Structure 1
Amino acid sequence: MADALFAHPRLAAVYDSFDGDREDLTAYLDIVAELGADHVLDLGCGTGCLSVRLAESGRTVVGVDPALASLEIAKSKDPAGRVTWLHGDATTLPALGADLAVMTGNVAQVFLTDRDWAQVLQGVHPALRPGGRLVFEIRRPERRVWEDWVADPARVALEIPGLGTVEQRREVTDVSLPFVSFRYTYRFLADGAVVTSDTTLWFRTRAEVESSLVAEGYRVLDVREAPDRPGREFVFITERTA
């Protein structure tokens, strides 16, 4: 089930405003070009920022997300219907023959059991063509980013057209490594509504991720830094092996 941050209509509507310009997506656009991928699966596409940009470059793009509210926002950015939008998750993927599947942001860390993560990898596998690539990122656990989150509650207030002023606050609610939980609270000043969204991330080690990939039929080709966040992320570039 998707977090309220993506699934609640009021939060989906303000997500892009608070998420900023998504400079992190530039690295994925560069990787897509580097790998020569013409058919891309954006798994956990959210409000469609990457999917739309890829489609604008002439690529065939499928965007998949379990949060219908986010998909509605994504579709509104794609009036020409260049992206195929699917409401679902990795377990519902058809055989797409994609050159590349990507999971950006925190997507790869929201699966909180070995079984759930294995099901994601198993679901993506047949959606790729033989030799297709899977690229995703995880936060490096040794960086201990949750300590930064505790120190900075990230209180932000934005004036959003049509909605008025919306306040956002983040708080860490539990650290039980390898799991870290946090809550976003949004206050809509126009009507006083308060909506919260709770998230838990699994901070796996690089070795744990590599082992899980090999077990599910992927070859790790490279593990890189995220160029806009050096020392904070691992970016895995993998290949379907069978």
Structure 2
Amino acid sequence: MTDDPFGDEQLVELYDLDNPSGIDHDFFRALADELEATKIIDFGCGTGLLTRTLAKPGRKVIGIDPSKTMLDYARRQPGADTVTWIDGDLTAVEQSGDADLVLSSGNTMMYVSGLPAALSALRGALKPGGVISFESRNPTTRAWEQWTREATYGERDTSAGRLREWIEVIDVDQGRVVFDAHNVFDDGRDAVFRNVLYFRTVEELTTALEEAGFGGIEVRGGWRGEAVTDASRLLVFRAAGS
């Protein structure tokens, strides 16, 4: 995880518009309340749209992200002073052993290449029985096959001016999908950001969690607790630390 592909200030300002609060945020907020969590870590918090809504009296919320651009934006938003913001990746996760909940939204875990190391670090932040939850795209739906210029091209007016956008897959190799996101501004500048996502199966993610010391692993095929099928777009995980 690095500042790219989230390092362009103009595009970061559009991020929350393109990724508004929805059923995923409702899920994580409900989970935090169910656990009566008093300490939450949002790993890969991005602009902090969800993170800020988790904060309330008697609860400590920590947002961690490697993108300085996104965190700078998060720190300027209303309610930002209720969150502790930390610039960094998994090495910035304090092994405090006292968090009730660690979450990762926005398919954050798909950007993490060294998943076992990340999960081990996150387990170290949790108290015994503390919960980790995250979602990942289901590889059986082969979503990347639709990521062509023809299928994804669009134009719109934004705060940064007229924007033309599309994505193109560069390489697919055993679940590792590399694609370029094109963002062409009025002046002709094409801000191209290369993304690498890791599509992992239920079995691969379950094994990684087990190897990191998690148990009680549950996986659902959506935010409403749907059963997992080959047609499930998402895999929603919940597990408990030892």
- Shorter-normalised TM-score: what interval? 0.7 to 0.9
Root-mean-square deviation (CA, aligned residues, Å) is 2.3
For residue 44 of structure 1, report the CA deviation from its aligned partner. Answer: 0.3
**Partner AA of 1:53 in structure 2:** T
1:61: Cα distance to partner?
A: 0.8
In structure 2, the CA distance between the partners of 1:192 and 1:70, relative to structure 1 (3 Å rule), is same
Compute the displacement of 1:65 (Å): 0.2
SS at match of 2:222: coil
Deviation per residue, 1:18-52 (Å, 9 max, x gap): 33444432222222223322321000001111101
User: What residue in structure 2 maps to residue 200 of structure 1?
Assistant: 196
Shift, 1:225, TM fit: 2.2
Q: For each residue in 1:49-87, what CA deviation from the matched residue of structure 2 results, as whole angstroms up to 9, or x when unmatched?
A: 110111258632100000000001111114550000000
State the one-letter code of the partner of 1:107. T
* Mapping 1:117-156, distance limit 5 Å: 117-150=115-148, 153-156=151-154
- TM-score relative to the length of structure 2: 0.88
- Residue equivalent to 2:86: 86
1:99 matched to 2:96? The reply is no
Unaligned runs of 5+ in 2: 227-231
The separation in 2 between residues aligned to 1:22 and 1:194, in whole angstroms, is 30
State whether structure 2 residue 167 is matched by structure 1 residue 170. Answer: yes
Match of 2:222 among 223, 226, 229: 226
What is the alpha-carbon distance in structure 1 between the residues aligned to residue 56 and residue 158 of structure 2?
26
Match of 2:8 in 1: 8
Alpha-carbon displacement from aligned partner over 1:85-136 (angstroms, at most 9, x marks no partner): 0001112212442110001122111123xxx112101211221122111101
The aligned amino acid for 1:238 is: A
Which of 183, 186, 211 is the aligned partner of 1:215?
211
Runs of 4+ in 1 over 3 A off after TM superposition: 20-23, 56-59, 150-153
| CA distance 1:176–1:221, change in 2 (3 Å) | closer
Match of 1:60 in 2: 60
Answer whether contact 1:132 1:240 (CA < 8 A) is retained.
yes
Identify the residue that residue 229 of structure 2 maps to in structure 1.
none
Report the equivalent of 1:69.
69
Work out whether residues 61 and 84 of structure 2, in 8 Å CA contact, stay in contact via their aligned partners in 1. yes
Mapped contact 2:45–2:51 kept (Cα < 8 A): yes
- 2:178 aligned residue: 181
d(CA) in 1 for partners of 2:224 and 2:162? 29
* 8 A contact 1:17–1:160 mirrored in 2: no
Letter in 2 for 1:227: W
SS at match of 1:180: strand
Which stretch of structure 1 is more off in the superposition, 172-181 or 1-10?
Answer: 1-10
> Which has the higher mean CA deviation after the structures are superposed, 39-48 or 151-160?
151-160
Q: Which moved more, 1:10-19 or 1:173-182?
A: 10-19
In the TM superposition, what is the alpha-carbon distance from 1:178 to its structure 2 partner? 1.5
The one-letter code sitting in structure 2 at the alignment partner of 1:236 is F
Does the 8 Å contact 2:206/2:217 carry over to 1?
A: no
C-alpha change, 1:178 and 1:229, in structure 2 (3 Å) is farther
Query: Among the aligned pairs, what percent are the same residue?
Result: 32
CA contact (8 A) 1:137 1:233 kept: yes
Deviation for aligned residue 1:5: 2.7
Q: Which amino acid aligns with 1:222?
A: E
* Aligned partners of 2:3 and 2:66 also within 8 Å: no
Quick check: 128-137 or 60-69, which moved more? 128-137
Report the AA paired with residue 117 of structure 2. Answer: Q
